[in-house]
Structure formats: C-alpha cells, structure tokens
Amino acid sequence: MEKRISAVEAESALREIDASRERMRNVLKSHHGHAYLWLWGIITMFDCFGVEYLGLAAMQVPSLVAMVVGILGSVIITFSRSLRIRVKPDRRFIGIAVMIIVVHLGVIPAIMGWPQDPRAMYTYTLLFWTEIYVVAGIWFNNHLVWCGLLCMVFSLTGLLVFPHIFWVWSGITVGGTLIGSGFVLRYGNR
C-alpha cells in the first residue's frame, strides 16, 4: 500500500530543502567559494598550456607541484574561513560526493581500467570532479550545475571534436569556465 505524504509533511520537506540550499549559498559566499574556482581554473590553464607547449613529459613534475599547491591552497582557504565561520556540513551531500569519488577512482577503474591516452585520462578525471559540481548545484546553487555541465561539455568536445588542439581548447574553455564561474559566484546574485 502506498503511503501518501500530507501537505504539512511536503511543506516541511520543502522548507528543509530551501534551508539547506540557503545554508550552502551562504557557505559558498562566506567561505570564498569563488577563490577555489579561481585557484583551480588557474591550475587547469597552467597544466593544459604547459602540456601543449612543453610536452607531457616536461609537465609531470610541474603538474604535480601545481596539484600540491592547489590542495594546500584549498586547505588554507578552508582553514582561514572556518576559523571565522562555523557551518554545519550537509551529510547527504558529503555522502554523495564520497560515493562519486569511490566509484570513479575505485570501481570503474577496477572494472574497465584507466584510460591510456593522456587526453582521455584528463577528461575522465575532470568528469568525476565536475559531477560533484553538478550535484552541488542541484542540491544548493544552480550556478554550480552550469559550471559543472559547461566543463563537462567543453572537455568532451575537446576530446571528441578537437583532439588536435585538445590542451589549448581545455585550457581556455575549462579553465576559463572555472575562473568565470568564480567571478559569477563572487559578484553575481547580489
């Protein structure tokens, strides 16, 4: 037998969703969500242009250093903001994000193996991170849906349509989307 929810239960659930979305919008603004987008957009551009102009072998160490700088920068941004602002994390969103990471880093590679082409590997890695953006956007802020979807579309377009200029294409479109999204997040919706 189907259990129907009452109007009061539905209204309560919608209020809870709105409260969660508003909390996350405030977290993104108050925790400098734009700074993460700018940081990773710059790192994306650096890596893509580096591979294009210096070659994949020459960029192995610089790319690793850029990733470490990105992770440390993200930790510093998070730590500096968390000292001033206390926000309760949304466990459901964190659970979904962890599930996406486990599936993409554990399950899929165990079944299908890792892509061998560096462009395909880059696109695969980008796709699982941008899936988290899309989920965050659905959950909290439509802006992140568009940021994630644009990054996915640009990366797949580069891989499938423009493989001969993939790295330049990805640097401009994906890195540019992240940086531009940071500006929208920072200065938009006032």
Q: What is the pLDDT of residues 90-122, one digit of tens each?
A: 788 788 889 999 998 899 989 998 889 999 999
Q: How confident is the model at residue 43 (pLDDT cuts 50, 70, 90)?
A: very high
Mean pLDDT of the 136-165 span: 89
pLDDT tens readout for residues 23-39: 666 555 555 778 889 99
Give the model's pLDDT for residue 94: 83
CA distances from 16 to 11, 13, 24, 54, 177 (A): 9, 5, 12, 51, 31
What's the distance, CA 59 to chain centroid? 22
Comparing 3 with 123, the larger pLDDT belongs to: 123
- Count other C-beta atoms under 10 Å from residue 67's C-beta: 13
SS (H, E, C) 21-83: HHHHHHHHHHCCHHHHHHHHHHHHHHHHHHHHHHCCCCCHHHHHHHHHHHHHHHHHHHHHHHC
Q: What is the pLDDT of residue 91?
A: 81
Q: Which tens digit of pLDDT belongs to each residue from 3-19?
A: 777 778 778 777 776 77
Query: Would you state the pLDDT for residue 20?
Result: 67
> How far apart are the C-alpha atoms of 74 and 35, rounded to whole Å?
8
Give residue-wise pLDDT tens across range 54-79.
999 999 999 999 999 999 998 888 78
- Rounded to two decimals, the pTM is 0.78
For range 169-179, the mean pLDDT: 96
